[in-house]
Each structure stands twice: as C-alpha cells, then as structure tokens.
Amino acid sequence: MREARLWRGLEKGKVDCYLCSFHCKIADGKRGVCGVRENRGGTLYSLNYGRVIAQHVDPIEKKPLFHFQPGTTSYSIATVGCNFRCLHCQNFEISQMPRETGRVAGEEVPAQKIVDGAVAFGCSSISYTYTEPTIFFEYAQDCGVPAREKGLKNVFVTNGYMTRECIDELKGFLDAANVDVKSYDEGFYKKVCGARLAPVLETVEYIRSAGIWVEVTTLIIPTLNDSEEELRNIARWIFTTDKSIPWHISAFYPAYKLLEVPPTPRAIVDRAREIGLEEGLRYVYTGNVPGDPGESTYCYNCKEVLIERFGFEVRKNSIKESRCPKCSTEVDGVEM
C-alpha cells in the first residue's frame, strides 16, 4: 500500500481522486469505483501498489499492437481492479475482485524486479494489461521510468478513461497504448460498461496529440454494437482523429454476464473491416479469427502484403526501414 498520486483533499475529510474520469469524491474509510483506492484519514492510498496478480511474456501482437515493434515480446503485468464493470469481461475474476469480494490479492513485487524480469526474458517492452492499468498508475509509473532507462518501451492496454492530468504524467514514460473504443453509443457504455463514451474519445485524441502511439480496438458484440451505422461512425471518428491509427475489430465470444449472447459471425467482422477501409483508414485488422486475411498488414498505397500474420505469430515481415519494399511508401508506426 502506498499513498496515491493525482488526488487532492476536500472538506470534512473527503478526497477528490482525479486519476480517471469518474472523479470520485471519496469519504474517509471508503473506496473509489475501482475498489483499490481508499481514503484513510483524509489521505488517498493505492491498495494494489506492487501487488501483481498476473505476469507473462506475450507477443506484442497480443495487446494487440501491430504497428509497434512488430515481432517482439512484451513483459505483461497486472494488478486486481478496474474502474469499469463490463458485462463481457474476460478477466472478471481479477478485474472485479475488489468490487465483488473486497479483496486485493496479489504477490508483492518491487518495481525494479519487473524491469529486471523484462530484461532477463529479452523483452522489448513492458505492457500494463489484463485489467485496467490506470488504476495501478503509481506502480506502472514506478516500473516505467526505470524501464525507459534500460531501453525498454512501455505500453498501456486500456479502456481510455484516464484524465488529462493522468495523461500528462504518462507522457514521461508511456510509448504506446491500445485503447478500447467499445461502442459509439452512450447507452451501450452506460448499460454494458457502467461508464461514458465521451471521455474515451477525448482520451484517444489527447494521447495521440501527446505523441504516444495509439491503436484502437472494438469488440463486436452481436445485437449490442454490431450495426453497420455504428461501425461506420467509429471508423469516421478514427479517420477524423488520425487516419493512420490502426483499428482492430475483434470477434466476441460469450463471457462473464453475457453468456447467452452468441459469438460474432466472421462475416460481420470481415464487413466491419471493409467499412473501415471504405472510410479511408489506412490499417484495419480482424481479431479472434486466426487465418483471416485481415490479420496481415498491407501497404495502404499499393496493397502489397508487408507483414503476414497467423493469430499473434508474425510469419513474414518485408518492411525495410519503415517503408514498403515495392513502392517505398512509409509505413506508420514505431520501429517498423
């Protein structure tokens, strides 16, 4: 447990947490919506600081990031807790643990040990993932700064609900983020996630303007966010923000509290990719459908296959000095 960052004291012993867009006003002895930030005597504490619940070596493509150090591995860590309560969460056992049980489980791991582990396993980056990294921001920052000093990159896989103040702090160590844009409908966010859409869109725009590489993921859930109109609206918004932002469109499989919703038909995923390309996006990918042509990277100018993938495996990368070998068009991304 450590004193939290990004908070201020209020009258009558309350505190204002401005880490994420919920802006919780927390009374003494209470926790924020994330379940891991608690007011004790007028001071806000991070209960999950350094309490690692998961750590693995993953391909960077699993985040998914396809235009950020492709073919490398990332040391991936998480603590318990989340500020969303998505009905379809695949990691609900750890993301919802503090909210549903009050427990903050995890093995205490010093930040430097995470950095040393990433180096020892030959990883090129550290990813803060599996649950929402914003709610273990302090620990991520304490890992991320020394990681940079060791030549490692830092990655957030996030729901995009952090504040501008948080993003300003992230600029000191964060190199890339994959942000879930779960829908383009406020009603969906309220019903399915317990949150709002607008702060997520603002986060993507602000992160991109801060010079942090961004990729966007949308999980298509049948009957809830799979209309052509909604998918086209997301594509148009990405194009307006930055047409070079890669858009990952993933197939849904039943999980947590949406067990009665069927898996996403492959035809819908493929159609969503077509919509993204029709709207002018340079890079649109399909996810959770191994073997689909939409997993690979193509030159947006001449359509040459640049990176051939199967699932999270890079089978061939023909990019030379961030350019297409056929027409010399520059490929957007980091260390392509």
Q: Quote the mean pLDDT of the chain.
A: 97
Cβ neighbours of residue 293 closer than 8 Å, sequence gap 6 or more? none
Q: Which two tokens stand for residue 1?
A: 């447990």
- Mean pLDDT across the stretch 164-189? 97
Fold for the domain defined by 51-295:
TIM Barrel (3.20.20)
Distance of CA 299 to the CA centre of its chain: 25
pLDDT band at 182 (very low <50, low <70, confident <90, very high): very high
Lowest mean pLDDT among 70-74, 234-238, 248-252, 287-291: 287-291
pLDDT cut 70: percent of the chain above it: 100
Global confidence as pTM? 0.97
The DSSP secondary-structure symbol of 135 reads: G
Domain ranges of the chain: 2-45, 51-295
Closest CA to 58 of 111, 125, 12: 125
- Calculate what percentage of the chain has a pLDDT beyond 90: 99
Helix (H) or strand (E) holding 206: helix 198-209
CB 92 within 8 A of CB 84: no
Residue 1 has pLDDT above 90, yes or no: no
Q: Cβ–Cβ contacts within 10 Å for residue 18, how many?
A: 17
First to last CA, the chain: 39
Once rounded to an integer, what is the mean pLDDT over residues 7-33?
Answer: 98
Between strands 176-180 and 213-220, the pairing is: parallel
Judged by DSSP in three states, 95 sits in: helix
Each residue of 53-72: pLDDT tens digit? 999 999 999 999 999 999 99
